[in-house]
Structure formats: structure tokens, C-alpha cells
């Protein structure tokens, strides 16, 4: 699956509609989990039927696209199934009992509920939440794939705005140039004090982006805490401080991700075969 991501530009009421859709997804997930807890012997089909019942009981759930409700139900069942498998396989420690969602940040649609205009680089959401038409901000071209290749559309909320992800049924090898063989191989050992050591005696140290940003993050967190009013509606100054603090953590997360991508690309380009030590299998003996 190949993912294209664009930033969304819209109006304030459209962002509020996206927030409402995300809250509805979280509501459906938690209601499905509660239904599974309260009723013995509930299976996957029972939870799907319960989602249909929720749409008839709550108007705000009916306004959400049916495939988004189905996806919320699938996420709940995935966590339940993982818990069952861990219990069946006698996994040591905690078995991963499903938890209620508190901080949902995305809503996912399948083949319906959206319409993409590749000429004007805009996407329109057509469900009852009235999100409407949003502009796509990004440098990726929309014309090198067919619209039928879009399997899912995901709206993601982050600290610095709203993004849309297009999940394409596309083989990356079809759109990238083939690398020249290097006739080299390398083995990797992931460590705790170092990021990894390879078979050529090269050691890559961790970048420690969080340690570098920790002083700044602590200062932002202190400013946020001073503006917090317990038991009262939070002020706009608190919301702004919370946003700045979240953006600081988002920056660290993106730095780590880009560093990992650069290292992975460097290894792929310079080696034909890459082997690594599976720590989980090694611990099991």
C-alpha cells in the first residue's frame, strides 16, 4: 500500500465538522467495545450489526459515512482479536486487554463519502457532517495514478493542522527507478546505547532529538500548566499554549522519522541483501 499525504486548507466551520466526525468515530469505537464487554459470546458480525443499530439510534452517527462507522468497528474488533490471540498463545505479561479510545485523531473512509478533483487539486466529502470541499496542499502529482487505485481516504488531525492520506493500491517498484546491483550484503544489530551496529564495524549513534529539545519542551509545558484552570472552561491562552507544546513534540517525532528514512534509504542503496537480528525470536530461544 502506497500512501500520499496532503495538508488540507479550509474554513473554520469545515475544521469543526472534521472534529465532529473524529469524535463520532471515537464514540462508535467505545460503544462497540462496551457492547462486547456487556454481552458474552459476541462475535465480529454481532458488532457490525450493532453499528447499524447505533446509526438508527443516534442522528450524529447516521450523519457519518457508513464506511467510516464500519472502519471504527473494525478497529475495535482488531484490538479484541489481538487480546484473544495473546491469551490463546499464553503470551507472558499483560495480554493487551482492549481499552477505550480517549484521543482519536483520524477518520477513515473507503470507496464512498468523498470525491477527488485532480484538475483543481481539491477533495469533497459528501456525508452528513457537511465537511464540504477542501484544498490539497502538497507537491505530489495526482495524475500518475488512477482514481480506482485509491483504496481508502484518511483524514488526520495533528498539532499543526489537518491532513488527508490517500492509500493507493500501487507497487512502489512501478514508480521508482531500479537500483544498480552493488553485490554487497550487510548484517544489522539493533542496540540500546547505539541505534545499530553493522557487520562492517560501523556504529550509528542515536540522534537524541528529544534530549536536545527537552529544555524547550519543559519550558512550554510549564507555561501551559500555569494557564490551566481546574474545573473550569479553559481560556484561549491555555489552548494556544497547549498547541505550542504539542507542536514541539510533533517536531521531534518528524525529526526521528526523517532520520530513520535517510538511514534506511542509504542502506538500501548501498546493499543488495540486509539481514538483522530478531530480538524477539532470540529471547524466545
Sorted by where each begins, the domain ranges of the chain are: 1-178, 185-284
Placement of cell 537524541 in the chain = 208
Number of H helices, E strands in the chain: 7, 11
The reported pLDDT for the residue numbered 190 is 86
Q: Return the percent helix, strand and coil in the chain, to nearest 5.
A: 45, 20, 35
Q: Rounded CA gap, 33 and 104, in Å? A: 15
Find the DSSP H helices in 8-65: 12-38, 44-57, 59-63
Give the pLDDT confidence score for residue 273 in this predicted structure: 93
Q: Give the separation between CA 143 and CA 121, rounded to whole angstroms.
A: 10
Q: How far apart are CA 280 and CA 114, in angstroms?
A: 41
Sign of the CA dihedral with 48 first, then 51, 55, and 60 last: negative
| CB neighbourhood size of 244 (10 A) | 14
- Helix-helix angle 209-226:236-270, to 10 degrees: 170
Q: Which residues contact 111 (CB under 8 A, 6 or more apart)?
A: 67, 151
Q: In what order do the strands lie in the sheet with 273-276?
A: 203-204, 196-198, 185-190, 273-276
3-state SS class at 217: helix
Q: Is 121 left (phi over 0), alpha (psi -120 to 50) or beta?
A: left
pTM for this entry:
0.88
- pLDDT value of residue 278: 76
Q: Tens of pLDDT along the chain (285 residues)?
A: 788 999 999 999 999 999 999 999 999 999 999 999 999 889 999 999 999 999 999 999 999 999 999 999 999 999 999 999 999 988 888 889 999 999 999 999 999 999 999 999 999 999 999 999 999 999 888 888 888 899 999 999 999 999 999 999 887 777 778 888 888 999 998 888 899 999 888 999 999 999 999 999 999 999 999 999 988 899 999 999 999 999 999 999 999 999 999 999 999 999 999 998 876 655 555
Confidence (pLDDT) at 212: 96
Q: Where is 153: in which H helix or E strand?
A: strand 150-158
Q: What is the pLDDT of residue 280?
A: 65
Sign of CA dihedral 248, 23, 138, 177: positive
Nearest to 146 by CA among 121, 112, 116, 108: 116
C-alpha cell at 167: 492509500
Amino acid at each position: 500500500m502506497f500512501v500520499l499525504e496532503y495538508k488540507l486548507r479550509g474554513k473554520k466551520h469545515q475544521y469543526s465538522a472534521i472534529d465532529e466526525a473524529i469524535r463520532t468515530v471515537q464514540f462508535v469505537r467505545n460503544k462497540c467495545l462496551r457492547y462486547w464487554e456487556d454481552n458474552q459470546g459476541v462475535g465480529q458480525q454481532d458488532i457490525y450489526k450493532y453499528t447499524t443499530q447505533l446509526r438508527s439510534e443516534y442522528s450524529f452517527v447516521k450523519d457519518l459515512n457508513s464506511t467510516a462507522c464500519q472502519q471504527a468497528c473494525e478497529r475495535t474488533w482488531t484490538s479484541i482479536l489481538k487480546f484473544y490471540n495473546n491469551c490463546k498463545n499464553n503470551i507472558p505479561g499483560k495480554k493487551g486487554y482492549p481499552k477505550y479510545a480517549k484521543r482519536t485523531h483520524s477518520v477513515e473512509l473507503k470507496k464512498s463519502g468523498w470525491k477527488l478533483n485532480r484538475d483543481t487539486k481539491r477533495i469533497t466529502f459528501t456525508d452528513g457532517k457537511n465537511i464540504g470541499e477542501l484544498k490539497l496542499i502538497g507537491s505530489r502529482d495526482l495524475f500518475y495514478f488512477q482514481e480506482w487505485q485509491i483504496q481508502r481516504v484518511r483524514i488526520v488531525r495533528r498539532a499543526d493542522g489537518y491532513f488527508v492520506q490517500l492509500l493507493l493500491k500501487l507497487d512502489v517498484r512501478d514508480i521508482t527507478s531500479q537500483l544498480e546491483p552493488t553485490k554487497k550484503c550487510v548484517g544489522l544489530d539493533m542496540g540500546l546505547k547505539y541505534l545499530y551496529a553493522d557487520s562492517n564495524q560501523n556504529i550509528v549513534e542515536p540522534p537524541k532529538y528529544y534530549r536536545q529539545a527537552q529544555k524547550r519542551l519543559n519550558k512550554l509545558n510549564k507555561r501551559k500548566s500555569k494557564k490551566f484552570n481546574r474545573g473550569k472552561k479553559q481560556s484561549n491562552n491555555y489552548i494556544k499554549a497547549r498547541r505550542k507544546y504539542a507542536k514541539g513534540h510533533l517536531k521531534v517525532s518528524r525529526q526521528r522519522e526523517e532520520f530513520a528514512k535517510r538511514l534506511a534509504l542509504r542502506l538500501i542503496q548501498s546493499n543488495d541483501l540486509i539481514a538483522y537480528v530478531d530480538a524477539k525470536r532470540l529471547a524466545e530461544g
